[in-house]
C-alpha cells in the first residue's frame, strides 16, 4: 500500500523574481544597522564578516541603511553612501557576498528629523519644524532647494550602489525617517505642494523614484521599504498606504518591503510572530509586485506558512538571523528533511 504524506511541500524555497533579479528562495535578511562602519561611513572588515556569516542560504541580503547625505546621518558608525570615494569599500562587500552565491541589496536613507546635530553636524531637517519626540531637537523645515538636493542625493546614492556591484537598491521609507516623515500627516504640515493632500505628501517620493530610475535605468531592481501604518489616530493609515503602494508600482518599484511607520520597526506593544505580516498582506492585496513581510518571524515553519498561505511573497527574518547566522541554512535542512 502506498502511503501519501499529508504534509505539504515547503514553499519557502520556491524561486521568485524581483524585477529581473532571480532569487533562489523567499528568505530575506532585512536591513539591520550594525554600527560597524568607520565614523566616516566606510565599510570595515568586521562589517563584511557580519554579512558573510549570514549570507549562505538566503534568497536576498539587504545591507543596513546607509546615509545619502551627511545631514541625514543617524549614528556615529552608520554606513555611508553619500560620497563616490565610499564605492570601493562597498564594492568589496558586494563582491564577497556574491562569491557565496547570494544577491545583495543596499538600503539608502536620510534620517531627517530623528537624528541629532552632534551626529549629523547641523540642525536636523524635516518636512516641518515638529520634533519627533520631546527628546529630539526641533528640526528646520526643508527648503525647496534642499528638496532638489535630496532628490539628487538619493539618486546619486543609488548610482553608487549600482557601480559598486549591488544587485538592487532599497529606498528606506519606513520607521519615522525622512521619507516616512514626508508621507505622514503627523510630521508633514507643509503648506506648499509637498504637504496636505496624499497626492502632495507623495510628491517627494515620486520625484526621488523618477530621478533614481533616470540615473540607474528603468529595469534595475528597485525596492521600497514602506512604513505602512503609523498606528496613530492622526497618522498615516493603511488605507493611504495602499494607494501609495499602488503608486510605487506605477512609478516602477519592483518590490515592496512592508514594515511599520513613525513608531518604528519594533514597537513594544507588538511582539507576536509575524506582527507586521497583516500590513504586508493588506498591501499585497492591492499590488502585483512581490511584497516582503516582516516582524517577529523566528521559525522556518512559521516563515513557510506565511508564504504557503500567500500572506507575503517573501519573508524577512531579522533578529533571529542576528542570533543564529546559519538560520537560512538550518531552515533549508530542517524543512526539507521533515517532508
Ligand atoms: C539591530 C537592528 C537594526 C535595524 N536596522 C534597520 C535598518 O537599518 N533599516 C531598516 O529598515 N530596519 C532596520 N531594523 C528593523 C529590521 O529590519 C526588522 O524590520 C525588525 O527587526 C523586525 O524584524 P524581526 O522581528 O525579524 O527582527 C533593525 C532592526 C534591528 C534589530
Q: Tell me the CA distances in angstroms from 194 to 128, 143, 182, 310, one per residue in order.
A: 11, 11, 8, 35
- Residue-wise pLDDT tens digits, 214-248: 999 999 999 999 999 999 999 999 999 999 999 99
d(CA 301, CA 62): 22
Give the pLDDT of residue 339.
Answer: 62
| Phi then psi dihedrals of residue 248, to 5 deg | -55, -45
pLDDT at residue 305 greater than cutoff 60: yes
Taking the centre of ligand 1 as the mean of its atom positions, its distance from the CA of residue 318, in whole angstroms, is 6
3-state per-residue secondary structure call for 245-307: HHHHHHHCCCEEEEECCCCCCCCCCCCCCCCCHHHHHHHHCCCCCCEEECCCCCCHHHHHHHH
Structure-block grid coordinates of residue 247: 503608486
The set of protein residues with a Cβ atom below 6 angstroms from ligand 1 is: 30-33, 64-65, 107, 172, 174-175, 225, 259, 265-266, 294-297, 317-320
Q: What CATH architecture applies to the domain 16-337?
A: Alpha-Beta Barrel (3.20)
| Phi then psi dihedrals of residue 265, to 5 deg | -85, -20
Give the pLDDT of residue 267.
Answer: 87
Taking the centre of ligand 1 as the mean of its atom positions, its distance from the CA of residue 74, in whole angstroms, is 14
d(CA 257, CA 215): 22
- What is the rounded average pLDDT of the residues 6-24? 90
Q: At 4, is the pLDDT very low, low, confident or very high (cuts 50, 70, 90)?
A: very low
**Of 322, 323, 261, which is closest to residue 30 (Cα–Cα)?**
322
Whether the CB-CB separation of 165 and 153 falls below 8 Å is answered with no
Q: Which range, of 260-269, 289-298, 316-325, averages the lowest pLDDT?
A: 260-269
Taking the centre of ligand 1 as the mean of its atom positions, its distance from the CA of residue 322, in whole angstroms, is 10
Whether the CB-CB separation of 212 and 158 falls below 8 Å is answered with yes
Q: Which range, of 5-14, 159-168, 310-319, averages the lowest pLDDT?
A: 5-14
- What is the rounded average pLDDT of the residues 264-271? 88
Q: At 7, is the pLDDT very low, low, confident or very high (cuts 50, 70, 90)?
A: low
- What is the rounded average pLDDT of the residues 169-178? 98
Tally helices (H) and strands (E) across the chain: 12, 12
- Residue-wise pLDDT tens digits, 98-121: 999 999 999 999 999 999 999 999
**Of 224, 213, 288, which is closest to residue 256 (Cα–Cα)?**
224
Q: At 82, is the pLDDT very low, low, confident or very high (cuts 50, 70, 90)?
A: very high
Amino acid at each position: 500500500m502506498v502511503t501519501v504524506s499529508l504534509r505539504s511541500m515547503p514553499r519557502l524555497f520556491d524561486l521568485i523574481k524581483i524585477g529581473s533579479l532571480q532569487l533562489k528562495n523567499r528568505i530575506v535578511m532585512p536591513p539591520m544597522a550594525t554600527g560597524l562602519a568607520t565614523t566616516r561611513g566606510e565599510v570595515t572588515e568586521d562589517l563584511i564578516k557580519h554579512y558573510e556569516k549570514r549570507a549562505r542560504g538566503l534568497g536576498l541580503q539587504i545591507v543596513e541603511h546607509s546615509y545619502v547625505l551627511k545631514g541625514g546621518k543617524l549614528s556615529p558608525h552608520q554606513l555611508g553612501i553619500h560620497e563616490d570615494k565610499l564605492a570601493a569599500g562597498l564594492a568589496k562587500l558586494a563582491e564577497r557576498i556574491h562569491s557565496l552565491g547570494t544577491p545583495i541589496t543596499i538600503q539608502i536613507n536620510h534620517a531627517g528629523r530623528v537624528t541629532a546635530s552632534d551626529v549629523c553636524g547641523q540642525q536636523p531637517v524635516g518636512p516641518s519644524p515638529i520634533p519627533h519626540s520631546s527628546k529630539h531637537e526641533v528640526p528646520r523645515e526643508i527648503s525647496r532647494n534642499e528638496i532638489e538636493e535630496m532628490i539628487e542625493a538619493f539618486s546619486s546614492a543609488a548610482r553608487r550602489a549600482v557601480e559598486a556591484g549591488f544587485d538592487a537598491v532599497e529606498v528606506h521609507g519606513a520607521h519615522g525617517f525622512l521619507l516616512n516623515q514626508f508621507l505622514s500627516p503627523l510630521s508633514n504640515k507643509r503648506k506648499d505642494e509637498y504637504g496636505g493632500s496624499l497626492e502632495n505628501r507623495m510628491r517627494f517620493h515620486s520625484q526621488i523614484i523618477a530621478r533614481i530610475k533616470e540615473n540607474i535605468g528603468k529595469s534595475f531592481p528597485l525596492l521600497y521599504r514602506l512604513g505602512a501604518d503609523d498606528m496613530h489616530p492622526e497618522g498615516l493609515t493603511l488605507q493611504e498606504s495602499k494607494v501609495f503602494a499602488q503608486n510605487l508600482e506605477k512609478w516602477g518599484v519592483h518590490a515592496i518591503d512592508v514594515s511599520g511607520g513613525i513608531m518604528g520597526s519594533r514597537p513594544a506593544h507588538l511582539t507576536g510572530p509575524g506582527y507586521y505580516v497583516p500590513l504586508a498582506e493588506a498591501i499585497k492585496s492591492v499590488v502585483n509586485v512581490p511584497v516582503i513581510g516582516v516582524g517577529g518571524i523566528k521559525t522556518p515553519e512559521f516563515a513557510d506558512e506565511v508564504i504557503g498561505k500567500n500572506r507575503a511573497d517573501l519573508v524577512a527574518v531579522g533578529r533571529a538571523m542576528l542570533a543564529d547566522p546559519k538560520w537560512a541554512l538550518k531552515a533549508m535542512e530542517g524543512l526539507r528533511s521533515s517532508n
